[in-house]
Amino acid sequence: MASKHPFLQYLTLVLTLLLRGVFAADPPAPFEVKWASESFGFDGPWNAVKTTIGDYYYSSNLSLFPGAFWETWVISDEQCNQNSPDGCYASKAGLYDEDTSAKEGSGSDLEIRLESSLDIYQQGLEVVGEDPKRWTDSLSLGDSAEEDPVIYNVSLNLLTTQKMQYPGGQTYPLSAGCFSLGAPNVNHSFTMNDGSPSINASIVSGNLWEKGRTPSNSFGMHVGSASPRDMSGSLWFGGYDGNRVAGPVLSVDGTFRDGFSLDDISIEVVNGSSPFDFESQDGLLSEGNSTIIGSLGVQIDGCSPYLTLPKSTCDNIARHLPVNFDEDLGLYLWDIKSPSYKDIVSSASVLAFSFTTDSNAVSIKINVPFRHLNLTLTSPLVDDPTPYFPCYVGGHGTYVLGRAFLQDAFLGANWGLERPRTFLAQAPGPNIQALPRRIAIAEDTDRLEDGKNDWKASWEGMWDYSGNGGGNKIDPEPAPPNDEGLSTGAKAGIGVGASVGALAIFGALIWLCLRRRKNRSVQSEADPAVSQIPSDGKPPENRFTLQSEYTTQSGLSPRGEYASEMPTREANDVSTRHELGDTRRDEAMELA
């Protein structure tokens, strides 16, 4: 500004240069993915992340449910090009146009001519039809291929004319694709059958880390919920939002597709009077089914909508609820005329899922309030909007906790360890701090700290304690959990002020340190007072977090090696190789 005093200008310049110097040496920070403002699905509503697929000239905006393993699944315009009497339901979330795109410069096709299989798509609800097409294209994390970070040659599977199939045999079109949360490798490498050079496709999580944009090949997610109150999702690569964890975190070897041991399911009243004739009822998982001994292996899959469980388990739960089983859909419809329907779905009661660790040392319970289990079926599944309870008895024999469960669970993984680790915890309800508490996952992180959010407080104002549902009140402006008695706005202001001040001081300190120990790696200790950095939409390279230890890019530790087996039922002859940075590994991944 022309009116500025020369000294101020000078000071600004010095500060800018100083900060720039600091940021250049800055370790990578966790990267936050953007979410669509709308919700999607014929059985939700469900939150989805925003992506743009395609290059600068031919790109499509697609909202995708986050939850896939290895490749990202996108619905192509072929779903709608066949003049189907179903109408074009998937267009709401966006369709991929496979004809307009050609690999820039090379003019070559984006298709990878290797077989793929629907068996590796959503695990909790059958999808039928032709094999999906393996594909690569660029993907930006956001709604602009110009402004948001772009990852090139991303491993995709195109869904063309496939349909969802329910137990009655009826089929319906798809609603939205599914975004990959990563894989225990950086790349998806395909060996061609015809001897042509192998193709390397990128996986977003691995690519962000490999390019030095995140501290590790990892993610942390809470998908939030769209109803009865909108609570936006949270998905970070290389870290997570600590506010999305309420209580201890279960940490297990393997991936979310390898399975967790589900010990039990119970119905519990957590506050107020009970809308049931009990305060808690456990044993619902295995009651009346002698083949379920101890626990049941379940996958967690954000691509699938329901709680896909044995019929005996769903029936055990349903026995306590005013629901009617719909045989064709394999789902339970709420009996909205029953007086206890409203009581239950507005009460402070939950369906609780108990899990144990591999070491059996820790067990956790994830509470899914009945408030979140009053979901809605819409066209084309039913003619008129119909409230339903999401226990599902179809699928292909795999038991799966899908998006209905993920409304209330924090899920994360560190893919880069020798054996990948998966993290599972209770996620809070709608009342949480306005600013994310960004926590980095370091390359060697194999467990996460307990979440400090009070789960009950996070649901305050959302329950009806009377047990007679009559009120069905939702407090329009519930107080945030008051740790320091400050309003969210005041805290945000203080957070920003403190961050800016701390940033300047810290910047100067780092700069001094850097000058002294030039080639050594920067490590910073956690300081909760300055860890609340606002989500300000700035590109990640301009942010830094003080939450965890970092090593600089030059000091990357050796990457973990891990051979994975994909969960498929049929063998197919796709030979997939994983490439780990410079060390090429030629072992074929087993798809059997």
Ligand X SMILES: *[C@@H]1O[C@H](CO)[C@@H](O)[C@H](O)[C@H]1NC(C)=O
CB of 109 to ligand X, least distance (A): 10
Residues 454-493, mask of contacts with ligand X (x by CB under 6 A): ------------------x---------------------
CB of 79 to ligand X, least distance (A): 26
Position among 345, 401, 427, 589 found at the interface with ligand X (CB under 6 A): 345
In this structure, what token pair is assigned to residue 279? Answer: 């305060």
347 near ligand X, judged by CB under 6 A: no
CB of 274 to ligand X, least distance (A): 16
387 near ligand X, judged by CB under 6 A: yes
Nearer to ligand X, 55 or 77 (CB): 55
Going by C-alpha positions, the residue among 235, 236, 51, 29 that lies closest to residue 141 is 51
Taking CB under 6 A as the binding criterion, the range among 260-268, 286-294, 500-508, 572-580 that sits at the site for ligand X is: 286-294
211 near ligand X, judged by CB under 6 A: no
196 near ligand X, judged by CB under 6 A: no
Going by C-alpha positions, the residue among 70, 214, 182, 236 that lies closest to residue 556 is 214
292 near ligand X, judged by CB under 6 A: yes
Taking CB under 6 A as the binding criterion, the range among 207-215, 272-280, 307-315, 515-523 that sits at the site for ligand X is: 307-315
Taking CB under 6 A as the binding criterion, the range among 6-14, 32-40, 305-313, 441-449 that sits at the site for ligand X is: 305-313
> For 60, phi and psi rounded to 5 degrees?
-120, 140
Q: Find out whether 563 and 587 touch, Cβ atoms under 8 Å.
A: yes
Query: How many C-beta neighbours within 10 Å does residue 392 have?
Result: 27
Q: Find out whether 314 and 392 touch, Cβ atoms under 8 Å.
A: yes
Tokens 């560190």 identify what position? Answer: 414
Nearer to ligand X, 289 or 575 (CB): 289
Cα–chain center distance at 38: 16
User: What's the number of CA atoms in the CB half-sphere (13 Å) around residue 396?
Assistant: 17
CB of 292 to ligand X, least distance (A): 5
Taking CB under 6 A as the binding criterion, the range among 254-262, 339-347, 356-364, 452-460 that sits at the site for ligand X is: 339-347
The kind and range of the H/E element at 72 are strand 72-75
Q: How does DSSP classify residue 573?
A: -
CB of 41 to ligand X, least distance (A): 13
> For 462, phi and psi rounded to 5 degrees?
-100, -10
Nearer to ligand X, 398 or 547 (CB): 398
Residues 388-407, mask of contacts with ligand X (x by CB under 6 A): --------------------
- Write the burial class of residue 175 (CB in 10 Å: 0-12 exposed, 13-18 middle, 19+ buried): buried
Position among 385, 471, 497, 555 found at the interface with ligand X (CB under 6 A): 385
Position among 167, 228, 272, 380 found at the interface with ligand X (CB under 6 A): 228
Going by C-alpha positions, the residue among 286, 344, 376 that lies closest to residue 42 is 376
311 near ligand X, judged by CB under 6 A: yes
CA dihedral 308, 313, 316, 317 (to 10 degrees): -30
CB of 449 to ligand X, least distance (A): 34
C-alpha 313/C-alpha 332 separation (Å) is 13
304 near ligand X, judged by CB under 6 A: no
153 near ligand X, judged by CB under 6 A: yes
C-alpha 524/C-alpha 572 separation (Å) is 48
Taking CB under 6 A as the binding criterion, the range among 22-30, 141-149, 342-350, 354-362 that sits at the site for ligand X is: 342-350
Cβ neighbours of residue 217 closer than 8 Å, sequence gap 6 or more:
182, 186, 205, 206, 208, 209, 210, 238, 414, 415, 416, 443, 559
Nearer to ligand X, 155 or 266 (CB): 155
Q: Find out whether 355 and 373 touch, Cβ atoms under 8 Å.
A: no
Q: Which residues sit at the interface with ligand X, rule CB under 6 A?
A: 152-153, 199, 228, 289, 291-292, 310-312, 342, 345-346, 374, 376, 385, 387, 472
